[in-house]
Amino acid sequence: MIVHETLADLGLSQRQTDLYLTLLKLGPSSIRDIAASAGLNRGTTYEELKRLRTMSLVTYFPQGKRRFFCAEPPDVLLRHAREKQAATNQAVNRLEQDIIPDLKQLIPASSSTDVFHYEGDEGMEYCLRDIIATMAEAADKTYRVYSSRLIRKYLYRPFPGFTQARVNAGIHVNVIAIGEGGDDAPLSERKWIDADAAQAPSYMAIYGSKCALISLVGADYPTVVILDSEGIAAAMRIAFDTLWRRL
């Protein structure tokens, strides 16, 4: 449910969301009634209600020897979201203005090339999102790709909205396709190399100061290596552009 997904972003577990929704429906209720309605035992219900109280989403009042709990109005959720958004914005500003520049000063000058290794669909998605994030900030929003035919059906599996996100960011891509096929897409140009012998599923993206290399191990398990080096990226761009002009 979209409610559970949204409240998860605010730090609520699925059980806590269920309890909050239950309380909204029940109105002021005892732990016994809340637990029965939510399908939980009383001990678990009480512990989760305590956590919801620390989030200011639940209050209680005594009635005789019993406690009756009630949910705060849903507007409180919006207030929490706005507070979290403001805190996140402040963190982003501090990272951009102070923390990241200071951390970069800790990197030795001799560390001219950084190498990162990722695996699985999560690694491939990270790479695709890094391409968008890097190129969105670049002055020249064109990056370059070599893509073999056998990897194409796996490439966007973890991030099916990649092409639309790229287009929305105004990022252009030049693709040298190894083997026939490949779909046309906005802000994309494609040229082909006929290479029947090149059957290995592989992909290389040259973007910003980075080169990303993706290959498949076994049938469909991706491995990703990202090299962050302005010198290497510049050399690869020259080689790509030279071949591009000759195709």
**Could you tell me the two tokens for 220?**
């469909």
pLDDT tens string 130-189: 999 999 999 999 999 999 888 888 888 899 999 999 999 999 999 998 877 667 788 999
Q: Where are the alpha helices (DSSP H) in the chain?
A: 2-9, 14-26, 31-38, 42-54, 75-94, 100-104, 120-136, 152-155, 162-168, 230-246
More confident residue, 152 or 239: 239
Q: Mean pLDDT across the stretch 47-67? A: 87
Q: Options 1.10.10.10, 1.20.1200.10, 3.20.10.10, 1.10.260.40; which CATH number does 2-72 get?
A: 1.10.10.10
Q: What angle do CA 85, 87, 92 make, to 5 degrees?
A: 90
Domain residue ranges of the chain, discontinuous segments joined by + = 2-72, 114-246
Is the full-model pTM beyond 0.75? no
How confident is the model at residue 65, as a pLDDT?
77
- Please tell me the CATH code under which domain 114-246 is placed: 3.30.870.10
How confident is the model at residue 166, as a pLDDT?
94
